[in-house]
Amino acid sequence: MPNLKRLAILLIAGAGMLALIAVADEEPSSARQRAQIHTELGAAYFGRDQMGVALAELNEAVRLDSNYAPAYNVLGLVYMALREDAKAEESFRRSLSLDAASSDTHNNYGWFLCQRGKSEEAMPHFAAALKNPLYATPEKPYLNAGICARKNNNDADAEEFLLRSVRLQPHQPQALFHLADINFKRGNLNEAKNFINRYSQVAAPTQESLWLGLRIERRLGDRNAEASYDLQLRKMYPDAPETRALRSGKYE
């Protein structure tokens, strides 16, 4: 177990990673403070995909303070990643029973439900996450609600949520990609091109983004831009389904 006198956590946003910084600190004086430190350690290890160590830290947190809601929230994320869905749901529900107003937990639980095909159950949790005017990252539930609405074949609501996400965080790549795709499917090609270009400025190309960009340019008639996407897709993702579709001429 890490020496609590030597550890504190610095959570750094970016690419979904959490960094752990060791600094001098005094021994925490209460079980709640110790539970908080173990929860932060668990979150850091979770961010580094060290699930076993994350679980150990989080279980220690709830042993120290069984009423510390954030520990159960992070436990839900870990169990979700491990595909232990019953434990994930139990953890999220326990967290909300202790802190019903937690925007982070509502957002995470909503995303869990959405990922498990329960889109309609997920949406009220995203709405609950956004009720707190002091919530530091409202762009996240807007993004998740947008993706979830798309899973529910509701692009009209999805577009509204995604636009709110990019207004708050203009460089959110997932929101930009989905907005490009929505506009492409509607035939709004210039808007689609604008969003996929913005995506390309802030994120590395994926097989999905290259394929979407290629089809946008093909419909617009820009053969040079289409050829550029074609070359990148073939070179970077030679075995992807999108590349196989390209080779067979199946653009839709």
Q: How far apart are the first and last CA of the chain?
A: 54
pLDDT for position 29:
64
In contact, 139 and 130? CB cutoff 8 Å: no
**pLDDT greater than 50 at residue 21:** no
**pLDDT greater than 80 at residue 5:** no
Kindly state the tokens that stand for 182. Answer: 């929505």
CA angle 168, 170, 173 (to 5 degrees): 115
pLDDT for position 26:
46
Give the amino acid at 1.
M
Give the amino acid at 230.
D
pLDDT band at 22 (very low <50, low <70, confident <90, very high): very low
pLDDT for position 252:
80
**pLDDT greater than 50 at residue 8:** no
Percentages helix, strand, coil for the chain, rounded to the nearest 5? 70, 5, 30
Place of tokens 């491990």: 82
Mean pLDDT value of segment 80-84:
97
Mean pLDDT value of segment 44-51:
95
For the chain, give every domain's residue range. 1-100
Mean pLDDT value of segment 34-47:
96
Q: Say which range, 2-6, 172-176, 179-183, has the weakest mean pLDDT.
A: 2-6
DSSP H/E element including 121? helix 119-129
Q: Cα–Cα distance between 76 and 123 in angstroms, integer?
A: 18
In contact, 179 and 209? CB cutoff 8 Å: no
What is the DSSP annotation of 170-227? TT-HHHHHHHHHHHHHHT-HHHHHHHHHHHHHHS---HHHHHHHHHHHHHHT-HHHHH
Q: Cα–Cα distance between 175 and 171 in angstroms, integer?
A: 9
Q: Say which range, 15-29, 33-47, 212-226, 231-245, has the weakest mean pLDDT.
A: 15-29
Share the mean pLDDT of the chain.
Answer: 89
Mean pLDDT value of segment 135-142:
96
pLDDT tens-digit map of 84-119: 999 999 999 999 999 999 999 999 999 999 999 999
Fold of 1-100: 1.25.40
CB atoms within 10 A of CB 232: 16
Give the amino acid at 183.
N
Kindly state the tokens that stand for 60. Answer: 């220690």
pLDDT band at 140 (very low <50, low <70, confident <90, very high): very high
Q: Cα–Cα distance between 17 and 45 in angstroms, integer?
A: 10
CB atoms within 10 A of CB 173: 18
pLDDT for position 251:
85
What is the DSSP annotation of 199-210? HHHHS---HHHH
